[in-house]
Amino acid sequence: MRIQTVLCIGVGLAFTTLASAEISTTAMEQGAQDAVLTFCEQANPAGLTVYKQLENSFHNDAWRGIQRTTAYQRAYTEVYGAFSAARPDWALGACVDLASKPGNNQHR
Protein backbone atom coordinates (compact mmCIF):
# COMPACT_ATOMS: atom_id res chain seq x y z
CA MET A 1 0.00 0.00 0.00
CA ARG A 2 2.87 2.40 0.77
CA ILE A 3 4.33 1.85 -2.70
CA GLN A 4 1.02 2.75 -4.34
CA THR A 5 0.76 5.87 -2.20
CA VAL A 6 4.26 6.99 -3.10
CA LEU A 7 3.59 6.26 -6.77
CA CYS A 8 0.40 8.26 -6.76
CA ILE A 9 2.07 11.18 -5.04
CA GLY A 10 5.06 11.08 -7.42
CA VAL A 11 2.97 10.81 -10.56
CA GLY A 12 0.55 13.43 -9.32
CA LEU A 13 3.30 15.88 -8.52
CA ALA A 14 5.00 15.24 -11.83
CA PHE A 15 1.86 15.62 -13.92
CA THR A 16 0.55 18.72 -12.19
CA THR A 17 3.84 20.57 -12.04
CA LEU A 18 4.95 19.54 -15.51
CA ALA A 19 1.68 20.89 -16.84
CA SER A 20 2.73 24.35 -15.72
CA ALA A 21 6.50 24.73 -15.58
CA GLU A 22 6.24 28.28 -14.25
CA ILE A 23 5.08 26.99 -10.86
CA SER A 24 7.75 27.18 -8.19
CA THR A 25 8.43 23.72 -6.80
CA THR A 26 9.71 22.46 -3.50
CA ALA A 27 12.74 20.21 -3.25
CA MET A 28 10.48 17.24 -2.59
CA GLU A 29 8.33 17.93 -5.64
CA GLN A 30 11.40 18.40 -7.81
CA GLY A 31 12.89 15.15 -6.55
CA ALA A 32 9.67 13.29 -7.36
CA GLN A 33 9.48 14.84 -10.83
CA ASP A 34 13.07 14.01 -11.65
CA ALA A 35 12.63 10.43 -10.42
CA VAL A 36 9.58 9.94 -12.65
CA LEU A 37 11.37 11.35 -15.68
CA THR A 38 14.57 9.38 -15.04
CA PHE A 39 12.60 6.17 -14.67
CA CYS A 40 10.53 6.89 -17.78
CA GLU A 41 13.62 7.68 -19.86
CA GLN A 42 14.83 4.15 -19.14
CA ALA A 43 11.47 2.35 -19.30
CA ASN A 44 10.14 4.04 -22.43
CA PRO A 45 13.02 5.09 -24.73
CA ALA A 46 10.48 6.03 -27.41
CA GLY A 47 9.50 9.01 -25.26
CA LEU A 48 13.07 10.12 -24.48
CA THR A 49 12.81 13.36 -26.47
CA VAL A 50 9.64 14.35 -24.63
CA TYR A 51 11.09 13.54 -21.21
CA LYS A 52 14.23 15.56 -21.95
CA GLN A 53 12.09 18.51 -23.11
CA LEU A 54 10.11 18.35 -19.88
CA GLU A 55 13.31 18.21 -17.82
CA ASN A 56 14.74 21.20 -19.64
CA SER A 57 11.54 23.18 -19.16
CA PHE A 58 11.91 23.26 -15.38
CA HIS A 59 15.62 22.79 -14.71
CA ASN A 60 17.23 26.12 -13.98
CA ASP A 61 19.94 27.55 -11.75
CA ALA A 62 17.80 27.09 -8.63
CA TRP A 63 17.36 23.40 -9.49
CA ARG A 64 21.09 22.78 -9.09
CA GLY A 65 20.88 23.90 -5.47
CA ILE A 66 17.64 22.02 -4.82
CA GLN A 67 18.98 18.70 -6.00
CA ARG A 68 21.64 18.74 -3.28
CA THR A 69 19.08 18.91 -0.48
CA THR A 70 18.11 15.95 1.69
CA ALA A 71 14.41 16.46 0.85
CA TYR A 72 15.13 16.23 -2.90
CA GLN A 73 17.31 13.15 -2.54
CA ARG A 74 14.84 11.38 -0.25
CA ALA A 75 11.89 12.07 -2.58
CA TYR A 76 13.90 11.03 -5.64
CA THR A 77 14.99 7.76 -4.01
CA GLU A 78 11.51 6.88 -2.76
CA VAL A 79 9.66 7.67 -5.98
CA TYR A 80 12.25 6.03 -8.23
CA GLY A 81 12.24 2.97 -5.98
CA ALA A 82 8.45 2.83 -6.03
CA PHE A 83 8.33 2.98 -9.83
CA SER A 84 10.99 0.28 -10.02
CA ALA A 85 9.00 -1.95 -7.67
CA ALA A 86 5.65 -1.36 -9.39
CA ARG A 87 4.10 -3.75 -11.88
CA PRO A 88 6.09 -3.19 -15.09
CA ASP A 89 2.94 -2.74 -17.21
CA TRP A 90 1.62 -0.06 -14.83
CA ALA A 91 4.90 1.84 -14.69
CA LEU A 92 5.36 1.71 -18.46
CA GLY A 93 1.75 2.80 -18.95
CA ALA A 94 2.31 5.83 -16.70
CA CYS A 95 5.42 6.75 -18.71
CA VAL A 96 3.65 6.36 -22.05
CA ASP A 97 0.76 8.47 -20.77
CA LEU A 98 3.17 11.21 -19.71
CA ALA A 99 4.93 11.16 -23.09
CA SER A 100 1.65 11.26 -24.99
CA LYS A 101 -0.01 13.95 -22.89
CA PRO A 102 -1.38 16.76 -25.08
CA GLY A 103 1.21 19.43 -25.59
CA ASN A 104 4.15 17.08 -25.23
CA ASN A 105 4.42 16.44 -29.02
CA GLN A 106 4.50 12.68 -28.64
CA HIS A 107 1.84 10.15 -29.49
CA ARG A 108 1.47 6.46 -28.70
Per-residue pLDDT band for 22 (boundaries 50, 70, 90) equals: very low
Per-residue pLDDT band for 16 (boundaries 50, 70, 90) equals: very low
Per-residue pLDDT band for 26 (boundaries 50, 70, 90) equals: confident
Q: Does the pTM exceed 0.85?
A: no
Sign of CA dihedral 84, 43, 97, 78: positive
- Rounded CA gap, 108 and 102, in Å? 11
Per-residue pLDDT band for 20 (boundaries 50, 70, 90) equals: very low
With H, G, I as helix, E, B as strand and everything else as coil, classify residue 99.
helix
- Rounded CA gap, 84 and 49, in Å? 21
